[in-house]
Amino acid sequence: MKRIEDIKADSNNILGEWSGKEWKFEEETGLGKMKENFAIGRLGDPNFGIIVYRAQELSSEGSRLLDKSLVVRFPLLKSAASQPSKPVKK
């Protein structure tokens, strides 16, 4: 995957306001063209992160063989990460 320009989406974006880093993979063969994008970032609400993956594949004739997206929104727990865990007593 090749690192591409950072994302800075505004609130009109389908995912809402968010910013992050993105990578892209493209491959063209005699059978068709494959594109994949992977991005990870932070939503406008600083308490949540986001992972976006998209895969697209076209046949050599131009027919769409694959077009799937996956979006994962997850909490960023600053307080939990900053506190060491306590050992479990047996």
pLDDT for 85 equals 66
Give the per-residue pLDDT at 74: 94
CA 60/CA 85 separation, integer angstroms = 54
pLDDT in tens, the chain (90 residues): 999 999 999 999 999 999 999 999 999 998 899 999 999 999 998 899 999 999 999 999 999 999 999 999 999 977 655 566 677 776
pLDDT of residue 52: 97
